[in-house]
Amino acid sequence: MRLLTWLLRGLVFFVLFAFALNNMHLVELQWFWGYRSQAPMVFIVLAVFGLGCAVGVLAMVPSWWRHRRDARQRLRLLPEKPMVQAPVATHANSRSGGQSTLPAELPHPPDMPAPRKPGK
């Protein structure tokens, strides 16, 4: 599996490298108010890709902040209860039809993230 992964990575690298070599000619960018600049096409494509990634990350920031705020609010609403340790099932116990190893009540609802330890 590792060999297949490295072969796929090598293939992607060589395809991108061949793309860069085939697009080394100069491209003239015409900006507003008569400004012009020249650069190799591969650098223009790389710059536009990086700019698109940055805009995508910046577009996600408000959503990330909202989810973090909601998660913190849910953690404050959780009741403070001591965790009850469930007995650990052994292989012999599970064969003989022993008790279930799941606790009677889960420590947090499955639709909420697990609570984190408070920071110092």
Domain residue ranges of the chain, discontinuous segments joined by +: 19-75
User: How far, in Å, CA of 60 to CA of 52, rounded?
Assistant: 12
Q: Mean of the pLDDT values across residues 4-32?
A: 88
User: For position 38, what pLDDT does the model report?
Assistant: 92
In 8-18, which positions are buried (b, 16+ CB within 10 angstroms) versus exposed (e)?
eeeeeeeeeee
Given a cut of 70, whether residue 9 has pLDDT beyond it is yes
pLDDT of residue 97: 56
What would the pLDDT profile of 30-80 be if each residue is shown by its tens digit? 889 989 999 888 888 889 999 999 999 999 999 999 999 988 888 887 777
Sequence-separated (6 or more) residues with CB below 8 Å from residue 71: 112, 113
pLDDT for res 73: 86
27 Rama class: left (phi>0) / alpha (psi -120 to 50) / beta? beta
Q: What is the pLDDT at residue 107?
A: 62
- Residues of the chain with pLDDT > 90: what percent? 24
Q: Quick one: pLDDT at residue 57?
A: 94
Q: Would you state the pLDDT for residue 52?
A: 94
